[in-house]
Structure formats: structure tokens, C-alpha cells
């Protein structure tokens, strides 16, 4: 069984290996532009200039454009699209229409097959798809559920319908999401020097930690936005001045 995406999809996916997910980019640009949802051209420019990725809507729109350019059929899927809990990912289709779930917003290592009736589908617990956790896919005719299984036994789940959203709905939901400036969040899949494992680094609500298959490493708290900006810039590969200005949009609450 091979639940990995075919080479043509993986080739596009690998273009995003150094692109992180964050909500601080939208804060940086919020009062600088009339239209909040950035174009693909703008996202590419901002990544080259600042190392900025974007939120799940940014990354889905960007990934869809790259897949289309490569001649690969794909469409957006998600849940709670017009709600504050909205999440969007991409379904890319193989040569015979088989479905591969692609989620840059949650910083997956690689896409995974979610086509239940395909000969290569697996409902087993798998490694190498999500940083810091094993995954298990349960697929039904109308949707699928992904279980994330941590080292400590904790299991979290996400359920998605297979129904595609329209590009118009994607843009509209993206615009709404860009206008919600809540808590600063940064996520990045990383491979540390000397290690073969891809881990998951995260900053959220003035805390940072790194997840690996061996467990969760909570990093030491910092005492100022400037210190946090340096840590974020280092781990996310972002421009330091960009991060400092973006963090200035968020209220800082010192943690004990």
C-alpha cells in the first residue's frame, strides 16, 4: 500500500517546504490594504521579501494556483467556512481521480490518500505525514476523519466533507478570515540539524513549543515582544522587523 501522493503532486507540494503558517502576516497588512485577502502574486512577493507565509486561506489559495499551473485538478475543502473556527485545505486529484488531502494550514509533512475504495488506501496508524504525531484516516462515501495520535496517548480528530467549496466561497471566506485579528499564531514544520525527523514548532498566545514523535518540548517563556519577535523570526524564517511590527498589533500578556 502506498498512501503517498504521486510525484507530480509532491513536486508542487515541495515548493512549500519552507513556507510556514501564521496569523501575524494578516495583522501586518491589515491597515495597509483595502482588500484583505492577498493575491497569489502578493503572497509570493511577501514570502520572498519577508519570509511571510500566511493563514490557511492564504496557503490554500496559493497551493491551488500552483497545482493548476502544473495541470493538476484540485479544489478547496474545509469546515466552518464562514465561522471564526474556519479551516480550509485542498483536495488534489491523481490521474484516475483518486483524492489526496493537502493541508498546508496545519503544516502537514506531505499529502495523504483519503480515497476509501482505492487499492492503496490504508486505515492503519501511519507515520511521516504529520509532524509530532501519527495519523489514521477513516474514510466514508461523503467525507473522512483524521485522527492525530500523540506520544502521550492523546488523540484529536478533524472531520471533513468531500464536497468542494467554490473558488468564490473560498475568496469570500478568506476575506472574512483576514479581517479577524485575534491571537498571534505561528506554525512551522522543521527539521533540526542532526535529526531526520520533521518536527512541529508553534507559537500561540505568548507560549512556544515543539512537538516530535517523542513528545512535547515547552520552551522557556520570554519577557517582551522584542524577545518573542526574535524567537519567531528565527524559527519561522521571517524578517525580524516584519515580525516586530506584526506583533505590535497584538496585546502582550506576560506569562508566569
Closest CA to 92 of 83, 101, 84, 104: 101
Q: What is the residue range of 194's domain?
A: 181-247
Q: Which of 41-45, 80-84, 152-156, 178-182 is predicted least confidently? A: 80-84
The answer to the question of residue 144 being in a domain is no
Examine residue 229 and state whether it is found in any structural domain, yes or no.
yes
What is the CB neighbour count within 10 angstroms for residue 100?
A: 24
Residue 213 lies in a domain: yes
Q: State in Å, rounded, how far the first CA of the chain is from the last one.
A: 48
Confirm whether 239 is domain-assigned. yes
Domain count, the chain: 1
- Kindly tell me if the per-residue pLDDT of 91 is higher than 50: yes
> Does the residue 21 lie in any domain?
no
What pTM value is reported for the model?
0.95
In a domain, 109, yes or no: no
pLDDT tens, position by position, 140-180: 888 999 999 998 889 999 999 999 999 999 999 999 999 88
Cβ contact 202:210 at 8 Å: yes
Amino acid at each position: 500500500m502506498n498512501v503517498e501522493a504521486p510525484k507530480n503532486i509532491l513536486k508542487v507540494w515541495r515548493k512549500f517546504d519552507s513556507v510556514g503558517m501564521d496569523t501575524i502576516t494578516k495583522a501586518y497588512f491589515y491597515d495597509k490594504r483595502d482588500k484583505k485577502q492577498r493575491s497569489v502574486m502578493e503572497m509570493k512577493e511577501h514570502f520572498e521579501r519577508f519570509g511571510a507565509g500566511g493563514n490557511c486561506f492564504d496557503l490554500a489559495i496559493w497551493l491551488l494556483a500552483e497545482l493548476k499551473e502544473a495541470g493538476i485538478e484540485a479544489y478547496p475543502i474545509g469546515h466552518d467556512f464562514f465561522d471564526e473556527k474556519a479551516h480550509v485545505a485542498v483536495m488534489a486529484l491523481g490521474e484516475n481521480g483518486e483524492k489526496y488531502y493537502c493541508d498546508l494550514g496545519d503544516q502537514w509533512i506531505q499529502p495523504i490518500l483519503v480515497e476509501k475504495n482505492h487499492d492503496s488506501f490504508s486505515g492503519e496508524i501511519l507515520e511521516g505525514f504529520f509532524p509530532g504525531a501519527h495519523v489514521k484516516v477513516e474514510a466514508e462515501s461523503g467525507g473522512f476523519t483524521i485522527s492525530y495520535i500523540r506520544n502521550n496517548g492523546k488523540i484529536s480528530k478533524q472531520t471533513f466533507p468531500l464536497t468542494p467549496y467554490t473558488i468564490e466561497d473560498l475568496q469570500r471566506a478568506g476575506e472574512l478570515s483576514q479581517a479577524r485579528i485575534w491571537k498571534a499564531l505561528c506554525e512551522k514544520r522543521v527539521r533540526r540539524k542532526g535529526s531526520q525527523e520533521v518536527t512541529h514548532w508553534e507559537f500561540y498566545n505568548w507560549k512556544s513549543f515543539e512537538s516530535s514523535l517523542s513528545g512535547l518540548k515547552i520552551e522557556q517563556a520570554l519577557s517582551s515582544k522584542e524577545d518573542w519577535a526574535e524567537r519567531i523570526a528565527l524559527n519561522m524564517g521571517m524578517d525580524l522587523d516584519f515580525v516586530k511590527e506584526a506583533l505590535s498589533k497584538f496585546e502582550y500578556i506576560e506569562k508566569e
